[in-house]
Every structure is written in structure tokens, then in C-alpha cells.
Structure 1
Amino acid sequence: MKYFAKGLTSVLASALSIAIAAPAALAQTATAPAEKPAAAQPWTKIPIPPLHAFKPAQPKRIELSNGLVIFLQEDHELPFINGSILIRGGSRDEPADKIGLVSLYGHAWRTSGTATIDGDKLDDKLEAKAASIETSGGSASTSVHWSSLKGDFDTVFASTMDLLLNPNFKADKLALGKRQIASGISRRNDDAGGIAIREAVKLVYGPTSPYARQPEYATIGAVTLDDLKAWHDRTVVPNNMIVSVSGDFDSAAMEAKLRAAFEHLPRGQAFQSEKFTFTDPKPGVNFAEKDDVNQSNVLIVGLGTERSNPDYYALSVMNEIFSGGFGSRVVQNVRTKLGLAYSVDGSFGASYDHPGIFYVIAGTKSASTVDATKAMLEEVNRLKTVPPTPAELAKAKDQLLNSFIFHYDSPEKTLGEQVTLAFYGYPADFLEKYKTGIEKVTAADITRVANKYVDQSKLGIVVVGNQAEIKPTLDALGKVTPLDITIPPPPAKPAE
């Protein structure tokens, strides 16, 4: 209360001072000279030089006779060495009745340890050296990462190879992984935003798509130790792996060590992912009830594109104009001018080997759900009807190019991108072409790709909120389809 009273006193004092000064100011008005022109702004005349040509330090690439690919990136700034083994095959490739297998594999692989050392003892061994070895499972790959001081590389790398070639999957570690995933399943409807994103992905790709499906109690319960072993045997072959190492080492000496570790491994059957088809989501409103909230999460979604698309650069600039930060159209019009959203964002997503997701997302009060959604749709349509101004185009390009440089401002970042490009079969100079590709984009290109790729009849809407508080009702936006977000219970245990 003291702070409030003090603030109130200050406001009143300011008001009084204005009132007291006003007569004097009015008395001087008749004789006061004309106002001077605004002061010059010399900083606006500072020349901004063009960006330098983008020439990232390229890692050394080596391909062994068995098909294994190695990338080496020297970086002598600190006495550390970091390594990674990227292995083809991920959760999108696991059986539909065992969704969660790859996550469980990534967990149990490291925590179980090897045939020669238990996972818990390996923890102690690595902790004593301030080193780490971790395994994980992703959508398209599984991986092993390790890190150590330069002087401990040989020891830590030997443990990494032992884990790679001699895993010892244990029942108790698999059970621990299942409990952790089950805990996440039980809580997945707690957050309205999380529900909205999950259901939007399912709407775009389809509920049974490998890019949208989710683990359930039954699917993780079906995973066995034999499944983990079979997955390991299927994927861990040299022609299915990319090894990358960065840090304080000599490339020739490191190459010799890696050749000694990997070159004797026999080539195996290359992993082949299933080819998936994608169709546009159906238009309409898909609603999930969340009666313990007083706001709505709104997502407008459709299929995006792939980075290999020749229109990738124009779509990137279009995306920046549309939703690239606080100065973007969607933020300025939906949030700032109309005040219809706490937050609003969007993206025309581009993935490496399948279409990304085009989305516009907002958080808004329950009472403004319909108005906010209409405003978001209007901004989508304006992409097609209102070409970017010269200022919008220039600003979007500058933001993309400046931020792009900082994504690859270290040897390790460049190495990571080169590994990703190699994994998905992109040319090594893809990064170098980005700057030129963005610079060539014109306002006409933006209008062309907006009309080619943005179609409101191929966009779906997901709303998560409190139906009783949404006024006007959602049917003002079109047909409303209820979403069932019930979590299927664990399968019944057999009777004793």
C-alpha cells in the first residue's frame, strides 16, 4: 500500500505542476518564436556495408570402404573433443503396435551399459573424468554422443565403441524407461497448448501417420528386450552411420584412430525408411474441450514444404514477412493493432525429407476466440492479395541473412549442419547457396508463392478451450468437429 500511495502522490504532483505551469505557458504563446526544425539524426546516415560472402569452414569428409562416413572438424579454442554417431532409423520406422520402441531403445541402451561394464558403473567412470556418453532416439535416427577432455579421448572413445558394439540391454532399465514414458502419457492433457499442438500435427499428417502418432500404455507395454536387440542389429551397421568429431585434435591422427575402430566392420543391409504420402487437412474447426481454462489456444494448419523445393527461398522470405517477430504482419495486426491475442506466431515449415507444417498459432481470451481466428485467417489471405512493400521485403531479407550467419558462427555448428545435409542427401554447398537464394527473392516472387502454396480451403483449425466461455460460438467459423483426447487406459493385467 505504501508503494501505491507513493505512486499516486507522484501522479497527482505531476498533474498539479502541469496545471500551475499552464498559465505561464499560455502567456508566452503569443511572443514565443517558431519552433526549430527537428534535430538531425546523423545515425541514419551511417553506411551499412553488405554482408561478406558466406564461406563456413568445411569439415573434412572421409568415406570408408564399408560405407561409413566420417566428418572431422578441428577446433583448437578449448581442450575438448566431442563426437557423435548418427544412425539411420527412428520412431517413424517403428511398428505401429510398438510406438515408443525407439525412445525406450535410446534410454535403455545407455543406462544398461555393456557386456563388460554396468551402466551405473559407467556413470561413475565418466563422472570421474568430467566426460559423458549419451544415447537417444529421434524421428529419423538414433544417436550416440560423447564428450571429454582432449587427454581422455582414447579412454572415453573406447567406452563409446564398447557401448556401440556390445550393448547389454537390461530388463530393469527397460522397465524404468516404460515408467517414465507412462508418466508423460498420464500428464499429456494437462497443458492446453500441448494438446493444441499435438492435435494440430495429427490433423495435418493424419492420426496414424508416423509423424503424428503417439505412444500409449499398450504400445510401450508391448516392447520387449528382444525388440531392442533386434532394432540394434538392424540399424547399427557401418553403411548406416555417420561419425562426426570436433575439437582439439590433429585430423590425420584422428582419422587413423577412427579407421582402426570402424574400417574392419562388415557392410550390412542399408536401412530403408517407408515412403509416406501426405494429403492436405480438411477445412473446418476441430475443438477439444478444456473446461479448466479461461482462454483458447488456436492453431490454423496445413502442409508446408521441403527444403529441396526451388521455392524454399521465396517461401522463407514470405514466412519472415508474415510471422518473423514483433514487426511481422500477423503480430502487428492481430496482436498489436486489434489486441486479439496475448501471443501470436506462425511459420511455413520446411523439413528435409517430408513436408513441414504451415501454421498460425495464437493464445486469446475465450470471448475473443472467433474474432482472433478470423483475424488470423485474414492475415493468411493478405499474403496472396497484398504484395510486400519494399521496406517489408528489405527488412525480411536482412533479418533472415543476419540470423542465418549466427546459426553457423562456430566450427561445431557448421559440422552439425554438414552432417544433417549428408544424412538427408543434400549437396554440401547447400548452405553457401542460401545467401544468394534469399537475396534474389523479389516482391513478385512472394506473391507468386503465396498464391501457389497458401490455400485457405486446404487449412484446418484446431481450438482448445472452454466451450461455455467462447462467445460467439465456434460454428461461426464453420463446421465444428469434437476431438476425443481421452487417454486410453493401460491394458488389463491377466488374472493370476
Structure 2
Amino acid sequence: MRRVTYSFGALALFTAALLPACAQISSQEQSTTPVIPPDARAEKNPGAWEKLQIPPLHPFHPGQPKRIELKNGMVILLEEDHELPFINGTLEIRGGSRSEPASKIGLIDLYSQAWRTSGTTTQNGDVLDDLLESKAAKVETGGDDNSTSVSWSCLKQDEDQVFHIAVDLLEHPAFNRQKLALAKQQDIAGIVRRNDDASGIASREAAKLVYGADSPYARQPEIATVMSVTLADLQAWHDKTVHPNNIVVAVSGDFDSAAMEKTLRDTFETMPRGPAWKDPDIPVPGPTPGVYVVNKQDVNQSNIWIVGVGTRRDNPDFYALAVMNEVFSGGFGSRLFQDVRTKLGLAYGVSGGYSAAYDHPGLFYTTAATKSESTVAATKEMLKDIDELRTEPFTEDEVRIAKDQLLNSFIFRYDTKEKVLSQAVTLEFYHYPPDFLERYRDALEKVTVADVERVAKKYIEPSKLAVLVVGNQTGFGNPPLTSLNLGPDHPIDITIPMPAAMRQQMMGGPDQ
């Protein structure tokens, strides 16, 4: 599922990529937006902004979708929405890439591509493409670290036919050798290019530092592991995971719930129950403290990541950590942004997050993009801000503003029925209580300054963090990275392993 990791930063943070764009006004805006001099505004309404009264948020009680559990263990969630004549559905299936064999990393990505493009035993993928295009409909398959899925979207009058296609894909896939070969070519092309983007290298290697290079949460496909995947592997995965007791079905749109329930019961209730899916128990060791460097000589800026272990969503301290993180890195007014970018001008973009996954610890990360010669100065300032989470007292204003920002942005994440249904699927998938969203607001409002200071001292441990720099070492200047007093640099090799046969083909002769 793409809802695996929930980041506190995602509630109110702008990502590092967005920060530069948000900090500027386009030339068009500059030329068309009337400018009122500050003095003129003040003279017209002196002190008016201080008199603004912000009303409290209304109670938050999102309507729960209708939940149905079939005798075979399949869970169905239905959300009627008659605003538009569309119907959208998803079958979310437990089991994803974190359960791939180490020798076949990339299996789930190939599976999710070839599943849809191959089609079914009655209609191949190309025929389905033409049929769906004629109806402006979609049927897609996907995969992630903990799930695979079939989804569909169509006009109300086409629901029966499009839903039948989705079910046919689920029950009668026909994995095609040519489609698998095409998926492999696409994945290998991505592997060959994966070191082109410095920011992509940084995020990838940061995860390896925290989870371990061989961890299912951080490992990466290689050409050899992709090439090793066979049609039999795809079918075996399908047979292993597609059982009704491992599936959550969600449907939203313009339909009658009673009629939709009958359709789904008639379709799925006779499917035999299979073995319950069990995800692997994956340890999260955390990083070995130190400075790690990827020397990328074709760039003139550095991507800096300071990383440690985050938390889980079911941690009772989740809410206080959310507020702490908002004060630390929650946008333009955060400590991190104000210190590193606004006051010192050391970074184009700076962000952070104390992220929380539903069933394993997320990352604690602080990131910045800066010019090469500012690498050490920016890193020192970021480390200082992290350390001050433990030593610099939080103020009532900081905590109040952080809570307001989190609560207001939180509400807008669930302002449509489709969004509420999507979150309900996630909660169901991870066996969280259905009222988890309602608890969020109450728990967040109860967070105090003392709570924030307590969790900062408990969870922020600068001595357990790793610093990763992706950049051109010749441009770092003085002082060197060793001035961070974190020991010698540890170089990271990002060379892409090339199978002997492929290397021989590229060299145009026998492998030496």
C-alpha cells in the first residue's frame, strides 16, 4: 500500500522540493498583483490583524463507511457518494515487496506491471486497453512493500462490465512472457539511471543507514535480481497471496449500498479461505553513528541527510512527537527553517520529519540542499537545531501554533468521502481501531509543553544519528567534514553491479 508510512511532516510540512517554489512569487504574479504599501495598510486599519478572532474547529466526526465481513474473511468497505456519476474500487491484498526473496528483489514491481498488461485468460492486455479506453475507464494493478492491488474507475453505467474485468484479473490472470520481458527492460533502464539524481541517491542511502542495506525496507533491485524473475514466480506469488481473508475491498461512488453489497457477496463469498498472510518480522537496528559520503563529482551542491529511527503510529507518544516535529520542522516558521534558511541562508530547501509507519518504525530525518561550499556549515546548524530539541525549552506559543497547524491541515486531509474511505482501508489493513481519526484530534489537543519536552528528551538522541552527504567532495572547502567531530568519513560505493554477460555484451567481446 502507498499508505505504509505516515509522516508527521506530511500533515503540514512542505517537502524540500517544494520549499524554493513556495518561497518565491512568479514573475506573472509580481506583474499582476496590486501592491499595497505596508504603511498604507496600517493607516487604514491600525492593529486590525491583532483583533482577528479565529473560531475553534468544529467537531470532527467523519462518517464511517459501511463495513461488511464475509464468511471467508474478506472485508468490504462501502462509501456512497452521489455527487458525480462515477464509481471507484480497490482490492487491497496483503503481501508485498518486503516478503520478496533476496535473490528476486524487484519481483513485486514486475508482478504488478505484468499482471495488468498481460490481461486475463479470456482477454489479453492489449484488448483490455482498447475496451477500457473506449469507455474512459481504468483497471490497474499495483504493488508496494506490504501489498498488491487491483483498482478500477468508471462511469456508473459501465460499472458491471468494468468490475467484471477487475474480478477477471484477480481470479484468472494470464501472465505473458513478452509483457514480463518488457517490464524487466523498463526496470533495468531505471536501475541503470538510478545514480543520475543526487536527491534520489540521498533518500535511498539514508534508508539503508537506518534500516540496513539488506533490509526489505531499504534494499534495492539489481539487474541480476530482476533478470532472475520468471513467469512461474509471478504465478506462485499470485497463488500465495490472493485469498479472500487477505483482501480488503473498498468501493466509493454513485451506487446503492444494498445493491453493491449483493453484487460483492455474489462475486466473492464463494471464494475459499486461504492461509492467513503473515508479514516477516524485520528488525530496525538504526544507523551506526558517523559521517557517510557519496562523492558525486558531476554536481555543485550537496544533499545532506541526518537520520535516525522514528516511531510507530500506535505509540502512545505519537501525538506529542507530532507537535515536537511541527515546532522543529513544520514549515516556514519552524526552528529548522528559520535557522538554516531564513537567518543563515545556508540551504535552498530544508525539511525534516519524525515519521511513523503503521507497523514498523519510520525515519527521523533532517534534510537540506545547499551549495557545495556550505556543506559543513549547514550540517553543523542542522545538528545544533536537533540538539536544541533537548536543551532549548519549548514555549507555549510554539506548541499552540504547532497544534493549530496540525489540526487545521489534518481536517483537510479528510474533507471528502473518498479520502475518508481511503483512510478507513488503511486502518482496516493494519488492524487499527476505526475511530483512530477521531482520537487524533482529541489526543493532539491535550498535548502540553511538558509533554513535548518529555518526548524530545526521550526520543531525540544526537549521539545515535548518522550524517549522509551526497555531493562533490572537492567543493566542500574548509573546514572539512571531520570538523563535525563525528569521526572519519565513510565513503559509500553506489556502483551498479553489472552481470558478466551484460558487461561482455556492452564491451563487445569476451569478459576479461
Given the two structures, how large is their TM-score scaled by the length of structure 1?
0.91
Structure 1 residue 435 corresponds to structure 2 residue 444: no
Q: SS state of the match for residue 85, structure 1?
A: strand
Q: Aligned match of 1:131 in 137, 159, 172?
A: 137
Structure 1 residue 331 corresponds to structure 2 residue 340: no
The letter of the residue matching 1:487 is: I
Q: Aligned match of 2:463 in 457, 464, 477?
A: 457
Alpha-carbon separation, structure 2, partners of 1:192 and 1:495: 28
Q: Aligned match of 2:292 in 283, 286, 289?
A: 286
**Pairwise CA RMSD:** 1.5
Structure 1 residue 118 corresponds to structure 2 residue 127: no
- Report how many aligned residue pairs link the two structures: 461
Of structures 1 and 2, the larger Rg is shown by 1
Structure 1 residue 148 corresponds to structure 2 residue 154: yes
Structure 1 residue 474 corresponds to structure 2 residue 481: yes
Please, which runs of 5 or more residues in structure 1 have no aligned partner?
1-35
Q: CA deviation at 1:490?
A: 2.8
Q: CA deviation at 1:39?
A: 5.8
Q: SS state of the match for residue 77, structure 2?
A: strand
**Post-superposition CA distance 1:133-186 (Å, at most 9, x none):** 000110100001100100110011111111110000000000000000001000
Please, which runs of 5 or more residues in structure 2 have no aligned partner?
1-41, 506-512
Aligned position for 1:384:
390
Residue pair 1:99, 1:214 contacting (<8 A) in 2 also:
yes
Alpha-carbon separation, structure 1, partners of 2:372 and 2:410: 37
Alpha-carbon separation, structure 2, partners of 1:495 and 1:289: 27
Structure 1 residue 492 corresponds to structure 2 residue 498: no
Percent identity of paired positions between Structure 1 and Structure 2: 61
Q: CA deviation at 1:211?
A: 0.2
The letter of the residue matching 1:276 is: I
Q: CA deviation at 1:432?
A: 0.2
Alpha-carbon separation, structure 1, partners of 2:422 and 2:162: 21
Residue pair 1:387, 1:446 contacting (<8 A) in 2 also:
no
After superposition, residues 339-488 of structure 1 pair within 5 angstroms as: 339-472=345-478, 473-477=480-484, 478-488=487-497
Residue pair 1:89, 1:141 contacting (<8 A) in 2 also:
yes
Q: CA deviation at 1:48?
A: 1.6
Residue pair 1:200, 1:462 contacting (<8 A) in 2 also:
yes
Q: Aligned match of 1:317 in 313, 319, 323?
A: 323
Structure 1 residue 91 corresponds to structure 2 residue 88: no
Distance 1:411 1:39, change over 3 A: closer
Residue pair 1:82, 1:245 contacting (<8 A) in 2 also:
yes
Divergent runs of 4+, >6 A? 493-496
Q: Structure 1 stretch 478-487 or stretch 83-92: which is displaced more? A: 478-487
Structure 1 residue 261 corresponds to structure 2 residue 267: yes
Residue pair 1:387, 1:444 contacting (<8 A) in 2 also:
no
Distance 1:117 1:450, change over 3 A: same
Q: SS state of the match for residue 120, structure 2?
A: coil
The letter of the residue matching 1:215 is: P
Q: SS state of the match for residue 426, structure 1?
A: coil
Q: SS state of the match for residue 122, structure 2?
A: coil
Aligned position for 2:247:
241
The letter of the residue matching 2:230 is: T
Residue pair 1:218, 1:491 contacting (<8 A) in 2 also:
no
The letter of the residue matching 1:348 is: Y
**Post-superposition CA distance 1:370-419 (Å, at most 9, x none):** 11101000000111111222221111001000000000000000000000
